[in-house]
């Protein structure tokens, strides 16, 4: 066997392969390491996701808190609405009873009738005062622009001197509770006058609070 044969024989090939093996292993390890995600980047991504979930949860909890507070507030404000509406009907009857007595009869009434009238008037005032303490407020629409949200038009009053669509008479008083209408005011509105100039604020609540 010649030296060339020995050099190029199977042993030489095996020796060369053995020499290249560490390099191949290193290359494969490097490729595998490159394919694996960076642990630091994974932690950053997880942190961003957790922070986003926390912010969404915090926003949901804040919305829930506000909604609950609003519902509790509404429940307190409007829980007496039905009862208050019934009491207004009683108050109306008291007022009708008082108005049914002629002025002449009141002026010439004896002590008993006078005391009775005063008692009915006092009862009416006490009832309305109690309702007001629970958020019920009387509307004062005379002179205001007719608002279908708060007023119910019963008739028109021809009057060219009053701006058109202005409330000029109240047939039955209206009331609000909180920011809701408990009972609209039954009113008469002017017809035939000049167009009513729009005020800066039309809200009945804003006008009452001014």
- Reported as a single tens digit per residue, the pLDDT across 20-72 is 556 565 666 666 666 677 788 888 888 999 999 999 999 999 999 999 888 88
Q: Are 6 and 12 in contact (CB under 8 A)?
A: yes
Of residues 17 and 74, more confidence is placed in: 74
Place of tokens 């509770």: 177
Per-residue model confidence as pLDDT tens digits over 83-124: 899 999 999 999 999 999 998 888 888 998 899 999 999 999
Q: Residue 146's closest CA among 160, 166, 118, 127? A: 166
The reported pLDDT for the residue numbered 210 is 45
Please name the fold of domain 42-134. Answer: Hemagglutinin Ectodomain; Chain B (3.90.20)
**pTM over cut 0.95:** no
Question: Which tokens is 93 given?
Answer: 């009857």
Please name the fold of domain 135-197. Answer: Nucleotide Exchange Factor Grpe; Chain A, domain 2 (2.30.22)
Report strand pairing: 175-177 vs 167-172.
unpaired
Cα–Cα distance list, 62 to 57, 65, 71, 182 (Å): 9, 5, 14, 31
The reported pLDDT for the residue numbered 13 is 54
Domain boundaries, the chain: 42-134, 135-197
């Amino acid at each position: 066997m010649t030296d060339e044969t020995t050099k190029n024989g199977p042993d030489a090939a095996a020796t060369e392969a053995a020499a290249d093996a560490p390099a191949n292993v290193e290359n494969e390890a490097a490729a595998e390491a490159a394919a694996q995600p960076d642990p630091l980047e994974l932690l950053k991504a997880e942190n961003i996701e957790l922070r986003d979930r926390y912010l969404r949860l915090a926003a949901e909890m804040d919305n829930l808190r506000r909604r609950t507070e609003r519902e509790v507030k509404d429940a307190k404000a409007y829980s007496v609405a039905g009862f208050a509406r019934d009491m207004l009907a009683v108050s109306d009857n008291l007022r009708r009873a008082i108005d049914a007595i002629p002025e002449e009869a009141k002026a010439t009434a004896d002590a008993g009738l006078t005391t009775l009238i005063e008692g009915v008037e006092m009862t009416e005032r006490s009832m309305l005062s109690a309702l007001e303490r629970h958020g019920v407020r009387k509307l004062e629409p005379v002179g205001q622009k007719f608002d279908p949200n708060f007023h119910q038009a019963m008739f028109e009053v021809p009057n060219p001197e009053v701006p058109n669509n202005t409330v000029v008479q109240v047939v039955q008083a209206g009331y609000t509770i909180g920011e809701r209408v408990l009972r609209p005011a039954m009113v008469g509105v002017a017809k035939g006058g000049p167009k009513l100039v729009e005020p800066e604020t039309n809200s009945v609540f804003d006008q009452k609070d001014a």
